[in-house]
Structure 1
Amino acid sequence: MAEAITDELYATAATAKGGREGTVKSADGVIDLPLGKPGSTSNPKANPETLFAAGYASCFSGALAAVAGKEGLDVSESTVTANVHFGKTDSGFGLAVDISADIPGVDAAKAQELVEAAHQLCPYSKATRGNIEVNVSVA
């Protein structure tokens, strides 16, 4: 059963037109982009996978800061990379994600503990859990 939001803190919207070769615009106008098919090197454009990777990496970075902050650790110099993979599945198409966090000044065991805790807290991780393959690691 899905976990319900009991106290909404923020809501937003985005509208796409024309699919993978169209446009996408957020309700607040912050995002207003032409879209293109993945893999174009001559005229690269954003696509659903790049937007998902950006959102997931940002959200996970926030979750990492939250769990580290509870332990009194400063991870403000950390980086999180979300590698999103798009491909064929037995039932059509799907995604997989590899999340990697580089946490300077934190030993490997503690960094792995923080990454695992962030994966439990991150809303993107919660949304994808059990739906797609997500691997988390320390860089």
Structure 2
Amino acid sequence: MTIAVEKVLYTAKATAHGGRDGKVASDDGKLDVVVAPPAEMGGTGNGTNPEQLFAAGYAACFQSALMVVARRERQDVTGSTVTAEVGIGAINGGAGYGLEVALVVSLPGIADRAVAEDLVAKAHQVCPYSNATRGNIAVDLKLA
């Protein structure tokens, strides 16, 4: 199922030079980073990599969604954190590559585990990254 955006509120634009071993920069200059394959994939590791950038974006976006849901549910998520763990590996017998994600959510102010799980599940329905990846890659939701 394709999700159609009803009204675009913002468009980010970034350009890569050199693929996984080069540089990535946004059109406004706020992001300008060297990218390099991690040592685990045969690279130098002397830069960030697309998986780290994806993990950072997903973690920030998911936590924002969590805060929206918590506000709606009248729950306090002060001090919460979201850690995104993005794995990359071979798929289709080595014919290509795929991603998997684990989102580890810490909600120190929510004592009731059922309430915490409900907030995380609802945030997963709100988060644009979750909506973009749903049905495409495995996303494991975990409470820290």
Task: Give the TM interval when normalised to the shorter protein.
Answer: over 0.9
Distance 1:38 1:129 in 2: 26
Letter of the 1:85 counterpart? G
Q: Aligned runs of 1:118-129 on 2, under 5 Å?
A: 118-129=123-134
Identify if the C-alpha distance between structure 1 residues 44 and 76 changes in structure 2 by more than 3 Å, giving closer, same or farther.
farther
Aligned to 1:59: 61
1:11 CA displacement: 1.1
TM-score (norm 1): 0.94
Letter of the 1:68 counterpart? A
The answer to whether residue 133 in structure 2 is matched with residue 96 in structure 1 is no
Structure 2, unaligned stretches of length 5 or more? none
Of 80, 83, 90, which residue of structure 2 is paired with 1:81?
A: 83
Identify if the C-alpha distance between structure 1 residues 76 and 39 changes in structure 2 by more than 3 Å, giving closer, same or farther.
farther
1:42 CA displacement: 7.0
CA RMSD between the two structures: 1.6
1:108 CA displacement: 1.5
Distance 2:46 2:71 in 1: 37
Distance 1:126 1:109 in 2: 23
Structure 1, unaligned stretches of length 5 or more? none
The answer to whether residue 73 in structure 2 is matched with residue 71 in structure 1 is yes
Q: Is the 8 A contact 2:36 2:48 kept in 1?
A: yes
Distance 1:118 1:39 in 2: 34
Deviates more, 1:32-41 or 1:112-121: 32-41
Paired residue secondary structure (1:66): helix
Per-residue CA deviations over 1:85-110 (Å, capped at 9, x if unaligned) read: 00111141100000010011102111
Letter of the 2:134 counterpart? R
Distance 1:137 1:71 in 2: 20
Paired residue secondary structure (1:19): coil
Letter of the 1:50 counterpart? Q
Letter of the 1:23 counterpart? K
Q: Aligned runs of 1:1-139 on 2, under 5 Å?
A: 1-39=1-39, 44-90=46-92, 91-106=95-110, 107-139=112-144
The percent identity for this pair of structures is 50
TM-score (norm 2): 0.91
Distance 2:26 2:65 in 1: 23
Distance 2:29 2:85 in 1: 26
Q: Is the 8 A contact 2:37 2:45 kept in 1?
A: no
